Chains A and B, each alone.
Chain A
């Protein structure tokens, strides 16, 4: 089961490291990363595999949100199906 992690906010040192570390701690495998600066804002989209994650997606969401609050950026995780449904026929 795949999920999409999105990180949006002001660029600073260590965003990718912190997010990847948290995902690794929870046994979430990163499949793909794309990162850009959009209109001055750091924007990262990651496809991750949560099949073998230590905690359910709902709990991962809480952990990522907490990290986001600490780093003053927006981090979220959503199951991939929602994007597939909306953008693929």
Chain B
């Protein structure tokens, strides 16, 4: 018989500490949908996604009801679209995004990721066509997410792509001006992108993946925060142990749900992504965990060290709880999606430079950060270059998801609603990086990429 205390502690985690499965994401390969006729290719894409993911949402809901665990999102990731669309004889890739959007609506998922291109070493014609279509594609679709990989530890950083992405982000903001540039919330620029990430906006189904796969992303900042409240003032060894134990429990739940979903959908289980993914809800914040460790406000001195401990302990606790860990696995620090980060940014303690330092030790990068609408494209590109450099040199995934909301200035707030939250506009350095970005070319891979 299970211990009554254990049972009640699980229920308290779900009821009061926002414990949930953040996402069940089905990865689907679209390589079989390539067709010289773009119209035919789009039909194949729609047909394949809706066939494979037909029962995804229903299955997620069934598991949620039987196990009493909230499963917040059901999502789909697909093969980077540039690889599929590249086979078609067309200049216009927007119809491919529309096909994804239609399929996502039919399946009832809340996002579909994979309007993507991998250009870390160079751009094919298809990659460039896809990238240039992003502003229109994101403006004309609702559920499509786009990601571009511009660098890797092995290949270096494609600075031509970095320069282009600065302009694309600005254009995407302009194309979705009526919604405060919401399109940019669905566009992420990566270095060292992973192929099995279940989280949006960066999810895509890598070419090394199987035909279809189930990946699950867990969450639980509130649970970790609650556990740390019980060890106030104790040494960091105790803090790390406490986080590990909590992460273990949370991940075991994710593993169970992933296996169950995989069995019911007759789809191979891929990975559990053991991430701490915050939401704008009170008590579901990563920033508040860092503050619980003894920082007055997230962003002050000590924040990077606190985050380093948290990120590492989450991995160590989670890795034994799952048969296969992957994705991004660590602590996310999206500003607009984290109540504590929003408060710290509004107060001015958390600034872009500190966030950049934090991305050296967190699971991804500069995420959901609102910057002034008149930020030059070159400055955005330079921010991407800095972030990609951190990823490239440290052999980790980094990413940039900036929101240059048209017409907004420092001190304004952009509201996106739901899980995307709200973001106070943060200042960027006014000094120009234009000549730096204008150089183009490629930043070579670091010495330690030569491991063979």
Q: Using a CB–CB distance below 8 Å, which chain A residues touch chain B?
A: 4, 6, 8, 32, 34, 36, 38, 43, 45, 47, 56-58, 61, 76-87
How many Å from the CB of A31 to the closest CB on chain B?
A: 8
Looking at the complex, which one of A4, A57, A58, A81 makes contact with B7 (CB distance below 8 Å)?
Answer: A4
**B7 surroundings in chain A (CB, below 8 A):** 4, 6, 45, 83
The contact string, 1 if C-beta is below 8 Å from chain A, for chain B 13-37, is: 0000000000000000000000000
7 closest A-B pairs by beta carbon, nearest first, are A78-B68, A58-B65, A87-B6, A85-B256, A85-B252, A57-B66, A86-B249
**B69 surroundings in chain A (CB, below 8 A):** 78, 82
Q: How many residues of B contact A (CB 8 A)?
A: 20
Looking at the complex, which one of A57, A76, A80, A81 makes contact with B11 (CB distance below 8 Å)?
Answer: A76
B253 touches A82 (CB 8 A): yes
**B249 surroundings in chain A (CB, below 8 A):** 86-87
B255 touches A45 (CB 8 A): no
Tell me the bound Cα distance from A36 to B66 in angstroms.
25
B135-189 contacts to A, CB under 8 A, are none
**A47 surroundings in chain B (CB, below 8 A):** 1-2
A83 touches B2 (CB 8 A): yes
Cβ-closest chain B residue relative to A61: B65
Looking at the complex, which one of A4, A36, A58, A82 makes contact with B256 (CB distance below 8 Å)?
Answer: A82
How many Å from the CB of A25 to the closest CB on chain B?
A: 20
**A77 surroundings in chain B (CB, below 8 A):** 68
Tell me the bound Cα distance from A80 to B252 in angstroms.
13
A86 touches B10 (CB 8 A): yes
Cβ-closest chain A residue relative to B69: A82
A61 touches B68 (CB 8 A): yes
**19 sample A-B contacts, Cβ–Cβ < 8 Å, listed by A number:** A4-B2, A4-B7, A6-B7, A8-B11, A43-B4, A45-B8, A47-B1, A57-B66, A76-B11, A79-B67, A80-B2, A83-B7, A85-B252, A85-B253, A85-B255, A86-B249, A86-B252, A86-B253, A87-B2
The contact string, 1 if C-beta is below 8 Å from chain A, for chain B 280-295, is: 0000000000000000
B62 at interface by CB-CB < 8 Å: yes
The contact string, 1 if C-beta is below 8 Å from chain A, for chain B 228-272, is: 000000000000000000000100110110000000000000000
**A8 surroundings in chain B (CB, below 8 A):** 8, 11
A32 touches B68 (CB 8 A): no
**A79 surroundings in chain B (CB, below 8 A):** 66-68
B3 at interface by CB-CB < 8 Å: yes
**A36 surroundings in chain B (CB, below 8 A):** 4
With contacts A4-B2, A32-B1, A47-B2 taken as known, whether A82 is within 8 angstroms of B8 at the C-beta atoms is no
Q: Using a CB–CB distance below 8 Å, which chain B residues touch chain A?
A: 1-4, 6-8, 10-11, 62, 65-69, 249, 252-253, 255-256
Tell me the bound Cα distance from A32 to B67 in angstroms.
19
Tell me the bound Cα distance from A65 to B66 in angstroms.
13
How many Å from the CB of A39 to the closest CB on chain B?
A: 11
How many Å from the CB of B85 to the closest CB on chain A?
A: 40
B2 touches A57 (CB 8 A): no
Tell me the bound Cα distance from A86 to B278 in angstroms.
21
A45 touches B67 (CB 8 A): no
How many Å from the CB of B83 to the closest CB on chain A?
A: 37
**B6 surroundings in chain A (CB, below 8 A):** 83, 86-87
Looking at the complex, which one of B4, B8, B67 makes contact with A81 (CB distance below 8 Å)?
Answer: B67
**B8 surroundings in chain A (CB, below 8 A):** 6, 8, 38, 43, 45
**A83 surroundings in chain B (CB, below 8 A):** 2, 6-7, 10
Tell me the bound Cα distance from A78 to B252 in angstroms.
16
Tell me the bound Cα distance from A86 to B247 in angstroms.
10
**A32 surroundings in chain B (CB, below 8 A):** 1
Tell me the bound Cα distance from A36 to B4 in angstroms.
10
**B252 surroundings in chain A (CB, below 8 A):** 85-86
Looking at the complex, which one of B3, B11, B62, B66 makes contact with A87 (CB distance below 8 Å)?
Answer: B3
Tell me the bound Cα distance from A58 to B68 in angstroms.
9
Looking at the complex, which one of B4, B65, B256 makes contact with A45 (CB distance below 8 Å)?
Answer: B4
Tell me the bound Cα distance from A32 to B249 in angstroms.
24
How many Å from the CB of B396 to the closest CB on chain A?
A: 29
Beyond A76-B11, A86-B10, 9 extra complex contacts between A and B, CB < 8 Å = A8-B8, A57-B66, A58-B65, A82-B68, A85-B255, A86-B249, A86-B252, A86-B253, A87-B3
B62 touches A58 (CB 8 A): yes
Tell me the bound Cα distance from A61 to B61 in angstroms.
13
With contacts A6-B8, A85-B255 taken as known, whether A78 is within 8 angstroms of B67 at the C-beta atoms is yes
**B65 surroundings in chain A (CB, below 8 A):** 57-58, 61
Tell me the bound Cα distance from A58 to B65 in angstroms.
5
**B1 surroundings in chain A (CB, below 8 A):** 32, 47
How many Å from the CB of B226 to the closest CB on chain A?
A: 15
Cβ-closest chain B residue relative to A59: B65
How many Å from the CB of A40 to the closest CB on chain B?
A: 15
**A38 surroundings in chain B (CB, below 8 A):** 8
**A82 surroundings in chain B (CB, below 8 A):** 10, 67-69, 253, 256
**A85 surroundings in chain B (CB, below 8 A):** 252-253, 255-256
